[in-house]
């Protein structure tokens, strides 16, 4: 399948109806999984179809919860998404009892033509249940390590942990993420007073800024063959009526923002905007 096309329109992020069994302190999705009685996969499919008609060439992110918690359903979801979208999967690469890293890798490799990137959560502290790093050598699909730096960037211990982390994933694509819950419109584009930016600059080589967008910004670094991005995204996906992310919740209902910040999507909010 050709993945070499331009993204047009806001990203559609679908929260899969499967929990992750982790308890990361920075998680914004976890509370959605406390009551699963209204989850409805068929309605999620209807919403994917609807969004596909509006934005046939945008990015689709499957997140949760845990998209790989149920491989059969994930197979179904992937086959349901029309061609013409870049598909990204946010996962911890869980290996369930009776399974193995080989089985998980085989599954992802079998769908490599549909998946643009598998974003794997790994953090300075083991907030998520981790499988063996050997899995990365088995995967033929593009991967990126996503790490939320929750620790105080001013602490010397954080610097040591960050260096050990970067060494562990040497040569891989790594995205270091700010603790989004601390970000505001005032500080999201600020480098001068950003202790995490300073820390990353100390241990990596700064290369360039990513283009500033309404909802996010980022910086590119290098270290030991790794491309490292430091990514700052507001916990808002809608600002001044402009929608950056469309969320399909586990119920199948479509929202224009994350969690308590969001409201059910008003289609007119999409009508007046020229999306690229």
Residue 271 found at the interface with ligand SF4 (CB under 6 A): no
Binding-site member from 92, 158, 217, 251 for ligand SF4 (CB under 6 A): 92
Q: Strands, DSSP E only, in the chain?
A: 11-15, 59-63, 86-91, 115-121, 143-148, 174-177, 205-209, 216-223, 226-233, 238-239, 242-243, 245-248, 254-255
Binding-site member from 7, 27, 71, 84 for ligand SF4 (CB under 6 A): 27
DSSP 8-state code for residue 264 = B
Binding-site member from 3, 30, 57, 161 for ligand SF4 (CB under 6 A): 30
Q: Identify which of residues 10 and 94 has a Cβ nearer to ligand SF4 in the complex.
A: 94
Sign for the CA dihedral angle at 220, 146, 253, 58 comes to: positive
What distance lies between CA 260 and its chain's CA centroid? Answer: 19
Binding-site member from 121, 158, 217, 251 for ligand SF4 (CB under 6 A): 121
Q: Identify which of residues 20 and 48 has a Cβ nearer to ligand SF4 in the complex.
A: 20
Q: Identify which of residues 22 and 46 has a Cβ nearer to ligand SF4 in the complex.
A: 22
Binding-site member from 89, 95, 108, 128 for ligand SF4 (CB under 6 A): 128
Q: Identify which of residues 3 and 231 has a Cβ nearer to ligand SF4 in the complex.
A: 231
Sign for the CA dihedral angle at 167, 206, 120, 260 comes to: positive
Q: Identify which of residues 21 and 46 has a Cβ nearer to ligand SF4 in the complex.
A: 21
CA distance 14 to 110: 21
| 131-190 residues near ligand SF4, rule: CB under 6 A | none
| 37-66 residues near ligand SF4, rule: CB under 6 A | 64-65
Shortest distance, position 14 Cβ to ligand SF4, whole Å: 13
If 0-12 CB within 10 Å is exposed, 13-18 middle and 19+ buried, where does residue 206 land?
Answer: middle
Stretch that binds ligand SF4, among 26-34, 47-55, 79-87, 223-231 (CB under 6 A): 26-34
Binding footprint of ligand SF4, residue count (CB under 6 A) = 12
Stretch that binds ligand SF4, among 20-28, 77-85, 135-143, 208-216 (CB under 6 A): 20-28
Q: Identify which of residues 32 and 257 has a Cβ nearer to ligand SF4 in the complex.
A: 32
- Going by DSSP bridges, is the β-strand pair 245-248/254-255 parallel, antiparallel, or unpaired? antiparallel
Q: Identify which of residues 25 and 171 has a Cβ nearer to ligand SF4 in the complex.
A: 25
CA distance 219 to 210: 5
CA distance 145 to 178: 14
CA distance 82 to 250: 19
List, in order, residues 6 or more apart from 137 with CB less than 8 Å away: none
- Report the interface residues with ligand SF4, using CB under 6 A: 20, 22-24, 27, 29-30, 64-65, 92, 121, 128
């Amino acid at each position: 399948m050709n993945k070499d096309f331009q993204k047009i329109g806001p990203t559609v992020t679908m929260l899969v109806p499967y929990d992750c069994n982790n308890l990361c302190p920075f998680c914004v999705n976890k509370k959605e999984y406390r009551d699963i009685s209204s989850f409805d996969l068929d309605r999620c499919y209807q919403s994917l179809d609807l969004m596909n008609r509006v934005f046939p060439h945008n990015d689709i992110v499957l997140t949760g919860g845990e998209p790989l918690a149920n491989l059969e359903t994930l197979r179904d979801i992937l086959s349901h998404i029309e061609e013409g979208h870049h598909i990204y999967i946010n996962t911890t690469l869980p290996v369930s009892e009776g399974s193995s890293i080989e089985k998980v890798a085989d599954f992802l490799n079998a769908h490599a033509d549909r998946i643009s990137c598998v974003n794997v959560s790994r953090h300075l502290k083991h907030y998520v249940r981790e499988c063996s790093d050997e899995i990365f050598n088995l995967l033929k699909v593009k991967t990126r390590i996503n790490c939320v730096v929750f620790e105080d960037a001013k602490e010397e211990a954080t610097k040591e942990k960050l260096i050990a982390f970067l060494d562990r994933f040497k040569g891989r694509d790594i995205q270091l993420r700010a603790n989004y819950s601390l970000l505001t419109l005032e500080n999201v584009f600020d480098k001068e007073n950003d202790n995490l930016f300073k820390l990353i600059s100390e241990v990596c080589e700064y290369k360039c800024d990513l283009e500033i967008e309404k909802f996010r910004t980022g910086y590119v670094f290098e270290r030991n063959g790794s491309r490292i991005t430091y990514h700052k995204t507001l916990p808002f996906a809608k600002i001044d009526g402009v929608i950056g992310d469309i969320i399909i919740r586990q119920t199948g209902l479509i929202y224009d923002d994350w969690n308590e910040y969001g409201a059910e999507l008003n289609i007119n909010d999409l009508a007046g905007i020229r999306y690229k």
